Amino acid sequence: MNNIKLAVGSDHAGFDLKKDLLVYLSGKGYSVEDMGPNSSDSVDYPDFAHKVASCVETKTCDLGILICGSGNGVCITANKHHGVRAALAWEPEVASLARQHNNANVICIPARFVSQEKAFQIVDAYLDSAFEGGRHENRVNKIETA
């Protein structure tokens, strides 16, 4: 069993991939909180990005995963939250580096540009990585404004 609690959300463009990821992650033993939406009907991505980011911001969840068409909208929205470092990843290596060098606590996936298999690889790379600290610590500490 994995001790990491994940908040996962999407918009309508990412809904099907979100459903697949929920099953995949639960099967790997992660505690997963589905932050919506509950259908592929058109929705406003900020509503769900705020839910995931708030969960990470309040430390109710350890990490977040957001999915929308390009990944950009949810990423921009999540980064408005105090203490949230959301990163857009379209390749596993990008996801690993976001965690290792930027201490990203939310990963954003572009559903229209990655396959289900690639999305699983991105999430695995993200979750299997850890912040390296060291020379990256000072840089990460300079990200957030007052």
CATH of the domain at 132: 3.40.1400.10
Amino acid at 80: K
Please tell me the total count of domains within the chain. 1
On whether residue 106 sits in a domain, the answer given is yes
pLDDT at position 146, please? 65
Name the E strands within the chain: 5-10, 31-34, 63-68, 86-88, 106-110
Catalytic sites, residue numbers = 68, 101
Residue that is written with structure tokens 């809904």 in the block: 15
pLDDT at position 138, please? 86
On whether residue 9 sits in a domain, the answer given is yes
Q: How far apart, in whole angstroms, are the C-alpha atoms of residue 146 and residue 130?
A: 26
- Domain with 101, as residue range(s), is 5-141
Q: Report pTM.
A: 0.96
Could you say which DSSP state residue 146 is in? -
On whether residue 146 sits in a domain, the answer given is no
Show pLDDT as tens, one digit a residue, over the chain (146 residues): 578 999 999 999 999 999 999 999 999 999 999 999 999 999 999 999 999 999 999 999 999 999 999 999 999 999 999 999 999 999 999 999 999 999 999 999 999 999 999 999 999 999 999 998 888 998 888 888 76
Q: How far apart, in whole angstroms, are the C-alpha atoms of residue 146 and residue 142?
A: 10
pLDDT at position 143, please? 87
pLDDT at position 122, please? 98
What is the pairing mode between strands 5-10 and 31-34? parallel
